[in-house]
Chains A and B, each alone.
Chain A
């Protein structure tokens, strides 16, 4: 977990060896103060997390219905359900499109901002805006923009492309695309600011030396700077992966409700829908377990592919 431990100051380095008397003093009034925070954390976070695995093994057709042990029965039901496989496909498409596009664009945008071109302050201010807006507000922006009488169709009509207008959120072929667009719209800017902050800590001489050797910006960006912050890009990719994988439930709930049909149902929305709309609790948490495992495998894969090579 070295890439995940904090980089500045703290845990990555062993603490300096204190003198014997200082060590004794520093231990006084010790670790007991950390207990309330730990208890809180275990009760409200770790406990519910573990409960997912228990509920996944139960047959529980509704809050007030009798509960019976199902063992692996839920797994079989889930794997036989075409809706589950459609959700798997949608999540795969969402991740396969959103993640690479977002990280690549954000890295280039971050590099651009870090070079301080004219107007970079304005750009930086605006890139942060999606990071501040709540999920419902973002969804309302997209709802207003993509509804049949909304901004997108208005713009298409204004430039004489009225034939291209569509009910974007209600059409099976575009609903998932709208959700991916929302991820990209809000994700690129925020991620770019993160990369820009990290890139500005790379000494200028590194880039200048490459320029003297005749390397252009494109080459400098990918061959010189990218390797320097490679592991950081990996960490940010992991985060975006988790946010996209688990966070999509809210966007789907607010914008498309998974439809039309199941064309925009993602795995995390399926967890929500089966728990709170269809009241099939064992099914829901079984999908939750799958989601958890996908998250774990994804994290390990990303960590592996961004491992520092030099």
Chain B
């Protein structure tokens, strides 16, 4: 359809919103290279120098280096566990035609409706009861459970597209169930696995409230999302350091987004559509 003159208000409104999205981000990036006086005096001016001093201050004061390692560790281990649980489950559900499997699939797709936040305190009790309170281990065990509904539902859809004849041919050659999963289903569902990995990478890396309550504020264990808000308290109102620290935590996500932009957009959209 043609976009006539009547679209002018629409253009104006949309670009106003875009500016509202960009300005705080620009302000953030610019402030990371400024001192407090410069930030208050001329908030919109570009920085006079690209001095990385704020970054190194943020890095040291909030122990961000260690926090990034912790976040990376928790995210990677949780992703591996998620796949280890979700791939066999999706494989089983996609292949069987029984009533139990259908019911199980329903259970997983209803899981979208359980907001993880609701059970924060009981989960905390569970962590305490298992003796894993204040450990990263509990988060590694817990996060995959929150990811299960989405991961299983996405993978089941991909696995349904694998033709049954391929499995039959492999069976005639004497392949076991495990070999069928490993050599036929997994390679053919790599796009689905990539989608699940991307979506969960984002959620796990960005997870805040559970990490705060369960891993706690110990600098040796805490994740980057828990370390970040402490900058606010530590630095008083040193905005340069605060913004520099925030930017540091965004780098991994931003790299992944830029490299895999198309795939990530598709993944996020499909993730939401499934819900």
Q: Give chain A's interface residues, CB within 8 Å of chain B.
A: 1, 4-11, 15, 18, 22-23, 25-34, 36-38, 40-41, 43-49, 51-52, 55, 105, 108-109, 112, 115, 117, 122-137, 139-145, 147, 149-151, 154-155, 158, 185, 188-190, 193-194, 197-198, 204, 207-208, 211, 216-217, 220, 232, 235-236, 239, 242-243, 245-247, 249-250, 253-254, 268, 271-272, 275-276, 281, 284-285, 288, 291-292, 295, 299
Structural contact, A6 and B118, CB atoms closer than 8 A: no
In the complex where A38-B104, A134-B225, A285-B121 touch, is A44 in contact with B141 (Cβ < 8 A)? yes
Structural contact, B17 and A188, CB atoms closer than 8 A: yes
Q: How far is the CA of A128 from the CA of B202 in the complex (A)?
A: 13
Contacts A31-B92, A47-B122, A105-B17 aside, 9 further interface pairs with beta carbons under 8 A come to: A1-B109, A38-B107, A41-B148, A127-B21, A141-B28, A185-B20, A249-B117, A276-B213, A281-B121
Instruction: Report B265 CB to chain A, min CB distance, Å.
Output: 6
With a cutoff of 8 Å between Cβ atoms, the chain B residues found around residue A51 in the complex are 119, 122, 125
Q: How far is the CA of A268 from the CA of B117 in the complex (A)?
A: 8
With a cutoff of 8 Å between Cβ atoms, the chain B residues found around residue A144 in the complex are 24, 27-28, 31, 239, 242-243
In the complex where A26-B95, A27-B98, A144-B243 touch, is A131 in contact with B268 (Cβ < 8 A)? yes
Residue of B nearest to A145 (CB): B24
Residue of B nearest to A194 (CB): B272
Instruction: Report A100 CB to chain B, min CB distance, Å.
Output: 17
Instruction: Report A148 CB to chain B, min CB distance, Å.
Output: 9
Which B residues, 80 to 129, have Cβ-Cβ distances below 8 Å to chain A?
85-86, 88-89, 91-93, 95-98, 100-102, 104-126
Residue of B nearest to A288 (CB): B118
With a cutoff of 8 Å between Cβ atoms, the chain A residues found around residue B79 in the complex are none
Write the B235-275 contact mask toward A (1 if CB under 8 angstroms, else 0).
Answer: 00101001100100110011001000100010011001111
With a cutoff of 8 Å between Cβ atoms, the chain B residues found around residue A6 in the complex are 109, 153, 157, 273-274
Interface on chain A toward B: helix, strand, loop, or mixed SS?
helix
Instruction: Report A62 CB to chain B, min CB distance, Å.
Output: 13
Structural contact, A216 and B6, CB atoms closer than 8 A: yes
Instruction: Report A275 CB to chain B, min CB distance, Å.
Output: 4
Q: How far is the CA of A49 from the CA of B275 in the complex (A)?
A: 19
Q: How far is the CA of A22 from the CA of B171 in the complex (A)?
A: 11
Structural contact, A109 and B153, CB atoms closer than 8 A: no
With a cutoff of 8 Å between Cβ atoms, the chain A residues found around residue B205 in the complex are 134
With a cutoff of 8 Å between Cβ atoms, the chain A residues found around residue B89 in the complex are 33-34, 36-38
In the complex where A38-B107, A117-B7, A216-B6 touch, is A141 in contact with B148 (Cβ < 8 A)? no
With a cutoff of 8 Å between Cβ atoms, the chain A residues found around residue B123 in the complex are 44, 48
Q: Which of B21, B177, B228, B242 contacts A189 (CB 8 A)?
A: B21
Q: How far is the CA of A34 from the CA of B88 in the complex (A)?
A: 6
Q: Which of B118, B171, B229, B275 contacts A254 (CB 8 A)?
A: B229
Which B residues, 140 to 183, have Cβ-Cβ distances below 8 Å to chain A?
141-142, 144-146, 148-149, 152-153, 156-157, 160-161, 164, 167-168, 171, 176-178, 180-181
22 residue pairs A–B, Cβ–Cβ below 8 Å: A11-B102, A18-B164, A25-B164, A25-B167, A28-B177, A34-B93, A36-B89, A37-B148, A48-B119, A126-B21, A128-B265, A134-B205, A136-B229, A136-B246, A140-B232, A150-B43, A158-B44, A193-B268, A193-B269, A216-B6, A220-B1, A249-B117
Structural contact, B168 and A33, CB atoms closer than 8 A: no
Q: Give chain B's interface residues, CB within 8 Å of chain A.
A: 1, 3, 6-7, 10-11, 14-15, 17-18, 20-25, 27-28, 31, 39-40, 43-44, 85-86, 88-89, 91-93, 95-98, 100-102, 104-126, 141-142, 144-146, 148-149, 152-153, 156-157, 160-161, 164, 167-168, 171, 176-178, 180-181, 202, 205-206, 208-209, 213, 225-226, 228-229, 231-232, 237, 239, 242-243, 246, 249-250, 253-254, 257, 261, 265, 268-269, 272-275
Structural contact, B145 and A43, CB atoms closer than 8 A: yes
Structural contact, A4 and B122, CB atoms closer than 8 A: no
Q: How far is the CA of A285 from the CA of B121 in the complex (A)?
A: 8
Instruction: Report A208 CB to chain B, min CB distance, Å.
Output: 7
With a cutoff of 8 Å between Cβ atoms, the chain A residues found around residue B114 in the complex are 45-46, 49
Q: How far is the CA of A34 from the CA of B274 in the complex (A)?
A: 20
In the complex where A28-B177, A49-B119, A140-B228 touch, is A155 in contact with B246 (Cβ < 8 A)? no
Structural contact, A125 and B261, CB atoms closer than 8 A: yes
Residue of B nearest to A211 (CB): B1
In the complex where A18-B97, A249-B209 touch, is A137 in contact with B249 (Cβ < 8 A)? yes
Structural contact, B98 and A30, CB atoms closer than 8 A: yes
Instruction: Report A154 CB to chain B, min CB distance, Å.
Output: 4
Structural contact, B164 and A271, CB atoms closer than 8 A: no
Structural contact, A128 and B20, CB atoms closer than 8 A: no
Q: Which of A25, A29, A43 contacts B168 (CB 8 A)?
A: A25
Q: How far is the CA of A25 from the CA of B237 in the complex (A)?
A: 66
Structural contact, B3 and A117, CB atoms closer than 8 A: yes
Q: Which of A8, A36, A52, A154 contacts B122 (CB 8 A)?
A: A52
Q: How far is the CA of A5 from the CA of B119 in the complex (A)?
A: 24
Structural contact, B92 and A33, CB atoms closer than 8 A: yes
Instruction: Report A42 CB to chain B, min CB distance, Å.
Output: 9
